[in-house]
Structure formats: C-alpha cells, structure tokens
Amino acid sequence: MAIRISKDMKKAAVDLTHAAGIVSGNEADNFQTLLSQEQTKLREKESKQHVFQDFHTNEATMMTAMYESMAKRIRTDQIMKQDSYLRVSKI
C-alpha cells in the first residue's frame, strides 16, 4: 500500500517549519526532513497493522481448519452410529 501525503499535511509541515523558526537556511530541506519523518512514522504504523492483520488471518485459518476437522469428526461419528444401528437392526 503506497503512502500518500495530503496537501493539508504538506501545508501543516510548512507551517511547522515557520512556527519552529526553521526558515533560516534552505526551507525546502527542512520541509523534506519533516516530510520524511512523517512518512517514516506512517510506514512504521502501517507495518504494525500488516503484522496484526497477518496474525489474525493466520488465527482465522487455524480456527477454520479446527472447525472443519470437528465437522468431519461429527459426520464420521454419525455414519458410525448409523452403520452400527443398521447392523443391530439386521440381527
């Protein structure tokens, strides 16, 4: 997923540079520094979310497998009961 920086965020970063008095020197460099810091924060947050989502996806897969196994076991038990009932009724 690409990280997009909105115009408002860019304007806020420029406002921060002015408010912090970082206007001296090369303003574009200061802006880029702030922008890259924000992008780094967003990437870290995004990577944590992906790890969290992957964990829940794996957990859901395991739960699905468990339920399928239980359903298979129940079907097998029902077949065995029917089979044993048929054997008893034939006698």
Q: Is the pLDDT of residue 7 over 50?
A: yes
User: Quick check: 10 pLDDT over 70?
Assistant: no
Asked if residue 26 belongs to a domain, the reply is: no
Q: What is the 3-state secondary structure (H, E, C) of 49-82?
A: HHHHHHHHHHHHHHHHHHHHHHHHHHHHHHHHHH
Q: Give 42-57 pLDDT, tens digit per residue.
A: 878 777 776 666 666 6
In a domain, 84, yes or no: yes
User: Given this model, what pLDDT does residue 79 score?
Assistant: 84
Q: In this structure, what token pair is assigned to residue 78?
A: 């029902």
Rounded CA gap, 7 and 14, in Å? Answer: 11
- Supply 88's token pair: 């008893």
- Report whether pLDDT(1) > 50: no
Structure tokens at 57: 């996806």
* pLDDT over threshold 60, residue 4: no
Which pLDDT band holds residue 26 (cuts at 50, 70, 90)? low
If one counts the domains in the chain, the total is: 1
82 within some domain = yes
Instruction: Please count the other Cβ atoms lying within 10 Å of the Cβ belonging to residue 6.
Output: 8
